[in-house]
Structures are given as C-alpha cells and as structure tokens.
C-alpha cells in the first residue's frame, strides 16, 4: 500500500473524523509535518500516520478495522511504536507486537455552547521564560509517574500555556501539545497541579484559561485526552464544557521476537 504525500488528499481523509484526527490535522502544518509519514489503502478509506518527532515513533490510525489492516503492514517493521489508536485496532497490533502499558483513554472535545470559563484571578500567561518553572512543577509528579507525557520546552513558545503561582513557584499549569490555527485545531495537554495543592480546582482554572485563549484565536476544534480512570479530571473538563467523543488506547508496542 502506498505512502501518501499529497496534503489535500491527507486532509480530506482526516476531515472525515475531525475530532479524532485533531493531532493528525495539526501535524499537517510546518514544524510538525516534517516528522510525518502517511500511508493509505488504494481506495483511500483509511490513513495511518507514523510521527517521528520522538525517540519512539507515534502510530495513529483512522478508518475501519479491515481497511486499516490492509495498510498496517507498511509500518510493522518498526521495532517500537507508541500507540494512539481506537480499541478495535488493538487486536491488529497485538497480532504483530507485544503491547505494554496499555491505557484506556477518552478523547474529549469542547462543545462551545457549554463552555464555562472558570474564575481566573490568579492565572497568568506563561512564555518561554517560564519554562524552568514549568519543568520544576512537572518534576513534582516524577516519583509517582504523574508528570505530563511528551512535554518539550518548544511547546511553550509555539503554543498556549497558563499557570497559577504562589510566591516564586508554579502550583498548577496547563498548556497545549499543538496549536494549528491554519487547520483550526488545538490539543490541550500538559495539565498538572502540584500534589500538595490538589482538590482546589486549580487544574480546571488553568485549563479553562487555555481554552478561552484558543477560542479567542478562532480555533474551532479544541480537544484533549484523559485517562478513563481519572475521574476528577474528567469531571473538571466536563464542567468547562468538554464532552466525551470516543474511547481510544495508548500504549507501547514492542515487536515480538
């Protein structure tokens, strides 16, 4: 099955399920597109993305199980893949890989009619000069394995980040994994509240501030990912106006020996 290079063909396929394809649509823009390899079936009913910006490439798929299976052989030479796939695709991966650290996730998408901006007296916009404070905050969760995944300092200068300070320290922050105004999409991530400040609604406040700024920028599809087991976060996102769109799975695929 062929690789695909035509951006308009790729975009057309991704727009068939825009909320699920938020990250992939963002990856069409410069700064992200250079890391992408796209694959599709001959009838263009499914599309696979291998995103190579990280040490372990990320696999994203869109399409029905039987069609994705036709294309999957193009990418299973990879020794390791980080998965972002719908549940029905997991058996196809398991036939070729051992799947480790599998996590059941929700993709949530903002319903603009339900958006409720939470009080934000203490929230501040964070720029590149705030990266050291953000990294210190995220380090708070390292021992418990709660630090945000896939954070990199350039996300701050390229995206939207807000935080809450107490003295010289950040006690909560939220930001974006990507912002692609040209595609009208953004993915909120890197949400973290210091362990000794939880239960006070701080995570909702900073997430709400990021969401409001993205709306001000005219981004029409705003999404985020959350573990299905993280009930407090799901409730906070629901209060802001996010709704569950679909279940999906994350995990590490390691090629069987």
Provide the pLDDT for residue 77.
85
CA 103/CA 83 separation, integer angstroms: 10
Q: Which residue has the tokens 């406040």?
A: 205
For residue 257, what pLDDT is reported? 64
**18 lies in the same domain as 94:** yes
The total of other beta-carbon atoms located within 10 Å of residue 241's CB is 19
Give the CATH number for residue 85. Answer: 3.40.630.30
**Segments forming the whole domain that contains residue 10:** 3-106+250-255
Query: Same domain, yes or no, for 67 and 35?
Result: yes
Q: Which of 34-43, 179-188, 210-219 has the lowest mean pLDDT?
A: 34-43
Average pLDDT over residues 208-234: 96
Same domain, 16 and 134: no
**Within-domain flag for 71:** yes
Paired with 215 in beta bridges are none
How confident is the model over 156-190, as pLDDT tens digits? Answer: 999 999 999 998 899 999 999 999 999 999 999 99
User: Residue 199, exposed/middle/buried by CB under 10 A (0-12, 13-18, 19+)?
Assistant: exposed
Asked if residue 160 and residue 101 are part of one domain, the reply reads no
Residues 7 and 76 in one domain: yes
Structure tokens at 173: 């922050």
Please, which pLDDT band fits residue 42 given cuts at 50, 70 and 90? confident
User: Across-strand partners of 109?
Assistant: 223, 243
Same-domain pairing of 83 and 196: no
Shared-domain flag, residues 229 and 150: yes
CB contact at 8 A, 185 and 217? no
Cα–Cα distance, 168 to 2 (Å, whole number) = 53
Q: Give me the pLDDT at residue 144, please.
A: 81
Those residues with Cβ within 8 angstroms of residue 121's Cβ, 6 or more apart along the chain or in another chain:
none
Q: Are residues 15 and 74 in the same domain?
A: yes
Same domain, 94 and 208: no
The model's pTM: 0.93
Q: How confident is the model at residue 26 (pLDDT cuts 50, 70, 90)?
A: very high
Residue 162 phi/psi, 5-degree rounding, is: -130, 150
Report the alpha-carbon angle 119-125-130, nearest 5: 135
Mean per-residue pLDDT for 65-70? 94
Q: Give pLDDT, residue 99.
A: 96
In this predicted model, what pLDDT tens digit does every residue of 96-127 receive, in sequence order? Answer: 999 999 999 999 999 999 998 887 778 999 99
The predicted pLDDT at position 143 comes to: 83
Cα distance between residue 228 and residue 114, in whole Å: 21
């Amino acid at each position: 099955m062929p690789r695909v290079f035509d951006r308009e063909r790729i975009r057309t396929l991704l727009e068939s399920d825009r909320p699920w394809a938020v990250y992939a649509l963002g990856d069409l823009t410069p700064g992200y597109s250079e890391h992408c390899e796209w694959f599709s079936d001959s009838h263009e009913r499914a599309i696979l993305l291998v995103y190579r910006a990280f040490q372990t490439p990320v696999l994203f798929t869109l399409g029905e199980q039987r069609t994705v299976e036709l294309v999957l052989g193009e990418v299973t030479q990879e020794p390791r893949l980080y998965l972002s796939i719908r549940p029905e695709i997991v058996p196809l991966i398991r036939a070729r890989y051992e799947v480790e650290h599998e996590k059941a996730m929700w993709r949530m998408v903002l319903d603009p009619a339900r958006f409720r901006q939470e009080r934000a007296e203490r929230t501040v916009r964070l720029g590149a000069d705030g990266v050291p404070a953000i990294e210190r905050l995220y380090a708070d969760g390292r021992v418990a394995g709660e630090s945000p995944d896939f954070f990199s300092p350039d996300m701050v200068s390229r995206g939207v980040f807000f935080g809450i300070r107490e003295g010289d320290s950040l006690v909560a922050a939220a930001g974006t994994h990507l912002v692609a105004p040209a595609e009208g999409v953004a993915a909120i991530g890197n949400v973290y509240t210091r362990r000794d400040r939880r239960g006070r609604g701080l995570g909702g406040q900073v997430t709400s501030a990021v969401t409001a700024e993205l709306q001000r920028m005219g981004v029409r599809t705003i999404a985020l990912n959350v573990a299905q087991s993280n009930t407090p976060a799901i409730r906070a996102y629901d209060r802001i106006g996010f709704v569950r769109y679909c279940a999906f799975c994350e995990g590490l695929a390691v090629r069987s020996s």
